[in-house]
Copies of this chain bind each other. A is one copy, B any other.
């Protein structure tokens, strides 16, 4: 059987981590790489991804040439957050019959932010016989998939809470740092939010909907807050993003990310399920976001190839595990 062919679309931090994961896999060939950054275009993907070796794949910025000329079974898309950004990018590979696995948070459940565009995407994917999955660490794992998996030993679930305490010092000064308004005073933070620069964690609304969909919970409302925590001296401590799924005035699902820059704070992912039986799970230290997101995308490859055409969410996945074996072993 021929090897599975993959194109890496977007070679930022997640795309670089995905590339490092892809090259470890057996039964898989990376056949193309796309990025608009002039610093990366024309260079070898291995070099751009920090592999210290060439892969024989030259980074191009020309999607209009790449997709008709180079066929892949799967495109790993690690470019943007929102659906309206992702849509025009991923329709090109979809129209060429390629499956798409994306880290776009909105694609974690695209019906949430734009049901019309999601329906259009689903129709297009079905027309071309391909599957589109948005995944990663969150959405994709801790905030939806792992929660659902833990409920698998429950006879009843009353309430779900996920909290991530993450040390984001390494993102100070970068894009992620700006998204969380790290280190800012209360006034600067307020201005950043108003200007749309500070957005906090995106994707929890999608995860809440995915969990609610699978549990058959009809939510009345999904509420989101995003605010800074400052100590009594006015020093920035963290940015908290909280999303709550509410039914009959009761919080049924609560997802929280506290992104902090205090080296003394402890990192962790915790899931609490109030149900029969109750389950209290803690992962300590926190699962690293960039690497886990990249690995979740890569480990989904054979399962997305196997899946029915159309949009799938992390709640529709089969059991996903590390691809230590030749990927072709898992193709149906």
Contacts and interface: CB of A to CB of B under 8 A. Distances in A.
A287 B279 CA distance: 7
Contact of A319 (B137, B156, B315, B329): B315
Given A282-B284, A319-B148, A277 B299 contact: no
B149 A321 contact: yes
Interface string A299-311: 1000000000000
A242 interface: no
Interface in A294-332: 294-296, 298-299, 315-322, 324-326, 329
Contacts of A285: 280
A250 to B, nearest CB: 15
Interface in A212-263: 214-217
A153 interface: yes
A288 interface: yes
A152 interface: yes
Interface in A264-284: 275-277, 279-284
B321 A148 contact: yes
**Most B CB atoms within 10 A — which of A217, A283, A321?**
A321
Size band of the A side of the interface? Answer: 35 or more
Nearest to A273: B322
A141 to B, nearest CB: 6
A90 to B, nearest CB: 23
Contact of A329 (B150, B155, B216, B288): B216
A195 B145 CA distance: 45
A141 B152 CA distance: 8
**Most B CB atoms within 10 A — which of A149, A153, A320?**
A153
A157 interface: yes
Contacts of A20: 155
Contacts of A284: 280, 282
B299 A276 contact: no
A276 B299 CA distance: 13
B152 A296 contact: yes
Contacts of A291: 153, 155, 276-277
Interface of A: 20-21, 24, 137, 141, 145-146, 148-157, 214-217, 275-277, 279-285, 287-288, 291-292, 294-296, 298-299, 315-322, 324-326, 329
9 contacts: A137-B153, A145-B149, A146-B149, A152-B319, A152-B322, A154-B295, A157-B324, A215-B325, A275-B322
